[in-house]
Every structure is written in C-alpha cells, then in structure tokens.
Structure 1
Amino acid sequence: MVNDDGVARGKAIQRRTGKTFHLATRLLPERVREATYVLYAFFRVADEVVDDAEGVPPAEQRAELERLRASALGEEPTEDPVLAAFADLRERHDISDGDVNTFVDAMLTDVTEDRYETFEELRAYMDGSAAAVGRMMTAVMDPEHPERALPHATALGEAFQLSNFLRDVREDIVERDRIYLPQETLDEHGVSETDLRNFEMSDDFRRAMERELQRTEALYREGVAGIECLPEDCQFSVLVAAVLYADHHRLIRERDYDVLSATPSIGTLRKLALVARTRWYWAWNSDPETVFRRVSAVSDTPGDPDRGPNRGVARRLLRGAVEGLRRLT
C-alpha cells in the first residue's frame, strides 16, 4: 500500500508545479489518481536535480540522480516519503525497472546536454523524459491489453513534452541555457542560435515553429487514437489532458508564434471551459478521436464547438464543471 505521506507530498508538488496535469489528474478514479500524484512527484524530484542546480557541480548532480535511482528501484533504503512511495508503487503496479532506468538516464543527459542536432536525437532523449513516463502511467492504469496501449502512450507522452518545449523556448534559454528545438529545423529555416538568444522574432522563426507544431500534432493524433485501449474510467481524464496540453498550440498561433518575448500561459477559466466542452461532447460520443478533433486545437473541424443552440448548455456545463472541480480532492 502506498503510504499516505507520499501521496500527500506528491499531490502538493503536482498542485504547485504542474497545474494543467493536476487538473486532468483530479478527474481520474481514485485507484489511479493517488498513484499519479506519486509518479508526478518522483518525476519532478528527479527533474529538479538538474533544473534547479545553479552552482551545483555536474558530478554532484549525477551522484544525486544515482541515489534517486537506487531508492526508486528499492536497492537502497530512503527516508524521503516521495521516493519510498514510488518504490512501493513500482512493485505494486509492476512498473518496469527498464522504464525507471530510462527516465533517470534522460535526467542524467540533462546534466551535460543542452542542444539536439536532429529530431531523432531529441526523440531518443524523450524516450526517457516523456515516453517512459507515459508507459509508467499506463502500468498504473492497468489496461486489459497493454501491448495495444503502450505505443500510443509513448506518442502522447512525447506530444505533451514537445508542447512544453515549444511553449517554453524563452524560459529554457533564460533559466537553463537549453534549446530543445532541433538544430536541423533551425538550419532549414535560417534561424541561428544568436537569433534565439537575442529573442528576435522573424518569419523564419515562425516557419520553424510551425514545422515543429505540425510534427507534435501528428503525435497527438497517434496518441489519442490509443485512448480507447485504456480502462473506461481513465479515458476521459487522459483525453482532457491531451486537449489541455494541445491548447498551447492555439495560444502560440494566436500570438503569431511569439514564444520569445514571453512564455504563453493558458488561464484557469480557459482550462475549465475546455473541460466543460470535452465533457459535453464526451456525453454524446465517447470516442476519444472524435471528441479530440471536435474540441482540441488540433481539430480538423473548423468552427467554434460552442456556437449554435448548444451554447447555453455548454455554459451551464462550464458552471457545473467549476463547482465540481472545486469539490474534488
């Protein structure tokens, strides 16, 4: 049984550092929700070893990550409630040691690597930092046919992280001296690292961003196509997460691809409106791909889902969603 302290710590970490993911997590059934708090907390604890490491020598960062790895795999005792809870969770849900190792290896990569020449190099990194996360989440959800769900979970995990990379171009440069846009894409469109460091908006940069948005949206379609392989009580929450993360693409395009002057951010009311819209269409058609196309920023269907005679219903659903989310724990 995962200890209550680990769950509470995990929930607090998620609420503070992952507001979009936290909203989707609250829609999960309890059997998965508490485990997700622990998973997220473990990911953040490891991530912060390198993201909040100003002045810490690389050797110390690597040593700390190896300590985390040993505790997570149950090879060394730990008094950290998050690590202890994760180790229990790993055994309870038979999470692959390989995925834990792949994740920690990706964090070790962040100690020394801050540029990626090709998308394939970036994707190899994301196999640990994103795809392994999706696979661990799938293990916790426990689908009847995991072999069908896992390739889609991998794609969706990559899509989520790529959306974050595209949103956080400025933040990654300023705070971490990292560039996650593939160098081959920048070269193809004539964007130099100096341009990025000077935060110079140009048509060349806009074209590079659009290329990566399209690549990411193909992964969303691949990932959402596998939501039907998940247990029924988990499908809506995962769909909502996809809709919320993909909405950054709408915001980026509305800003004319300007992620260099500031980091785009989706407001709480917008998120709740998206939850309400998704719930409305889910009530009428519980096919994840159909609802995603209708509601998300990746939609192939033009127009506003709220127009026409259903607008008042959508508003009532939004009010109900707000109240319901306030009551969730």
Structure 2
Amino acid sequence: MPQARIQEDLARFGPDTPDEATEMSVEDARARARELTRSQRENFSVLTRLVPEDVRDDFAAVYAFCRTADDLADEIGDADRALVLLEWWREEIDRAWSGDPRHWVFRALVPTIRRFDLSPDPFRDLVSAFEQDQSVTRYETWDQLIDYCRRSADPVGRLVLALLEEPITEEVARGSDAICTALQLTNHWQDLRRDLLDRDRIYLPREMNDIEDFERRFRVSATQGWAVDDTFLQESRELVRNCVDRTWRLFEIGADLPSRLGPRAAPVVETLSEGGVSVLRLVEDWDCETVLHRPVLSPLAKLSIVGRAWWRTRSSRRTTSSGSNSIGSAGAEI
C-alpha cells in the first residue's frame, strides 16, 4: 500500500529524523530506487527493456523522486500536513543541488544530477503541481487544467529526454510537452471515479460542463456503481468524450516526435506515447463511462505496445539508413 510505504519512509527518513539516522550509501539508495520502480502501479512500467541499460538506475532515481513526491501529496490524508511535507521536499531539492543530499531519494539522484547536469527547475515544477493539488480540486477552464499539466507532466518528458541525452530543440520540446500533457489528461479521464471518491478531485473543466446538478449526481453514481438517473450516464459520456477529443489533438501534435529522436530515445518515447494512446482508446471502447468504471490495459496489451514500439522505431531507422545510402550512391554517380 502506498500510504503504508510513505509513512514508513517518513518514520525513517522524514524531516523529524536526525540527519545521522538517515545515512545510506549511494549504492543502497539506487538499489532502493530500483526496487520502488519495479513495484510501481502506473499504467506502464518505467523500466521497460527499451530503456538503455546504462541509464536504468538514472530513470529509477527520477521515478523515485516523482513517486515519493506524489505520495507526499496524495497519501498523507491531510492537506495542511501534505503542504508542510512538500515544502520540506522542496528544501531537500536545494540540499541535493548544493551537494548535501539527506533523504535516500536524493542520494540516489545525485549521480544522475551530476552525470547529466540536470537543472532543479523540472523537479521544483513537479512539487509546485503537487502543492496545487492540496488547494485546487476543481478546474474552471481547460486552460487552467493545461497549466497544471505543464507542471505536473511536461517536466517528466524533459527529464526523460535529458537522461537519454537528446538535444531539446523547440520542435522536440513542443512534441514532448504535447505527449506528456496528453498522458496526464488521459490519466485524468481514466481515473474520474477514483479521483472523486478517493481524493475529492474533479478535473473535468466546468466551462465544458453544462450538466445540471453534476457533482451530486456524479458522486452518487460513482459511489453506487450505476447511473443515478435515466439521463446522467449519456450526459456524462458526452462530457468525457469532448475531453477525450481534445486530448487526441495533443497526441497528434506529438505523433512525429519519435522520428525526430535518436535510436536510444525513440523507442522509449514511442512506448510511453503508445501506452497513453492505448489507454485513451480503451476509454473510448468503454463508451467514455469512466464516471462509473476505470478501464485498464491487460498485461498482454502492454507487452504488445513494447513490441510495436521496438519494431516501428527499428523499421524507421532502417528506412532512414537505406534512404541515406541511396542518396549517397546517387551522389557518387553524379
């Protein structure tokens, strides 16, 4: 259980623990990050076999940061206490970048910071989004929701590209941000029922929602597992479908990103993007009824996504290589 894990972590490494009691070697910290990453509960594994072996510990360290920060936000059970802990987590970022890591996550992260010369800004943006979750539980406009995704999702994409040593040009950044925002939104549409019942959060923008007495009807329907009346299910389907349609446009903006990347990054990004596309398609297959149900990918579907991503990026590189050779031969003949 994530709540038990974060409470155990705080008891041993939290802000009230003396510094000397938090000592841990870098090797042990990175092993702990790998263990946490393998036990993850996201739609898609962070450490697929497509992640180059020499950066898997770095991916695990970044994941450990994100997972722990998210748990500090969501698994404490008290918004005021969560804000205090997130402020402490922000201070731990400063300590790590000054060369004095305390918490095991940052001990695991320091070699990654140094190897890739990472900026603290993406990590601070993520904490900012988690802090917002403590006070903002409803969104008035689509633009407000997109701004939240800019801090809760887009930094992760920039970090992935940094770990894979991809130059982040303007076009690459645009594609990465579009994919990451789409992934975050897909997660929201998938988790509508759970977010309401477990977190009292609704990410459906009010400006898109003209359903009468929506929140009461949503809560009753989500709690009992079937629509509260004859019209709510169809009304909610249309609302979710409109949000899904907007999310597809973001996936389309980022669709050509893998083709712009090198052979190390392309299959990783392709896998993450295809995973989100598959979940969004599953939401549609469930007729956008996620106010009542949470669709999930099967293990076979996940394996298929990895295989397709590997094959598409490999085939793309073969085509590019073949095209380059042809051009080279033609040039020689000329």
TM over 0.5: yes
| CA deviation string 1:256-309 (max 9, x = no partner) | 211122211111012112333344444443599xxxxxxxxxxxxxxxxxxxxx
Asked if residue 70 in structure 1 is aligned to residue 101 in structure 2, the reply is no
Asked if residue 117 in structure 1 is aligned to residue 165 in structure 2, the reply is no
Decide which moves more: 96-105 or 14-23. 14-23
- Distance in 2 of aligned mates of 1:31 and 1:128: 28
> Which residue of structure 2 aligns with residue 106 of structure 1?
129
Asked if residue 134 in structure 1 is aligned to residue 134 in structure 2, the reply is no
Residue type at the aligned position of 1:263: R
- Distance in 2 of aligned mates of 1:278 and 1:142: 20
> Which residue of structure 1 aligns with residue 218 of structure 2?
196
Distance 1:40 1:220, change over 3 A: same
**Number of residue pairs matched by the alignment:** 284
> 1:173-188 maps to which residues of 2 (within 5 A)?
173-187=196-210
TM-score (norm 2): 0.77
Preserved CA contact (<8 Å) 1:167 1:252: yes
Deviation beyond 6 Å, 4+ runs, structure 1: none
- Distance in 2 of aligned mates of 1:152 and 1:287: 23
- Distance in 2 of aligned mates of 1:133 and 1:47: 13
3-state secondary structure, aligned to 1:86: helix
- Distance in 2 of aligned mates of 1:150 and 1:80: 31
Distance 1:77 1:284, change over 3 A: closer
| CA deviation string 1:74-128 (max 9, x = no partner) | 2584442212222442343222222222211111111111111111111111111
| CA deviation string 1:174-213 (max 9, x = no partner) | 11111111111223x6571122212235222111111111
- Distance in 1 of aligned mates of 2:309 and 2:237: 30
Asked if residue 13 in structure 1 is aligned to residue 44 in structure 2, the reply is no
Asked if residue 210 in structure 1 is aligned to residue 236 in structure 2, the reply is no
Decide which moves more: 68-77 or 247-256. 68-77
**Gaps (5+ residues) in structure 2?**
1-24, 222-226, 320-334
Quote the RMSD (CA, aligned, Å).
2.4
Preserved CA contact (<8 Å) 1:72 1:84: no
Asked if residue 3 in structure 1 is aligned to residue 34 in structure 2, the reply is no
- Distance in 2 of aligned mates of 1:103 and 1:219: 20
Match of 1:80 among 83, 98, 103: 103
> 1:25-36 maps to which residues of 2 (within 5 A)?
25-36=48-59
Residue type at the aligned position of 2:68: V
| Shift in Å, 1:242 | 1.1
> Which residue of structure 2 aligns with residue 236 of structure 1?
267
Residue type at the aligned position of 2:37: Q
> Which residue of structure 2 aligns with residue 313 of structure 1?
none
Preserved CA contact (<8 Å) 2:93 2:120: no
> Which residue of structure 2 aligns with residue 301 of structure 1?
none
> Which residue of structure 2 aligns with residue 255 of structure 1?
286
- Distance in 2 of aligned mates of 1:95 and 1:147: 18
Asked if residue 151 in structure 1 is aligned to residue 182 in structure 2, the reply is no
Preserved CA contact (<8 Å) 1:190 1:204: no
> Which residue of structure 2 aligns with residue 40 of structure 1?
63
Distance 1:285 1:232, change over 3 A: closer
- Distance in 1 of aligned mates of 2:251 and 2:116: 26
**Gaps (5+ residues) in structure 1?**
289-329
Preserved CA contact (<8 Å) 1:138 1:146: no
| Shift in Å, 1:145 | 4.8
Residue type at the aligned position of 1:165: H
> 1:268-307 maps to which residues of 2 (within 5 A)?
268-286=299-317
| Shift in Å, 1:160 | 1.0
3-state secondary structure, aligned to 2:181: helix
- Distance in 1 of aligned mates of 2:233 and 2:119: 44
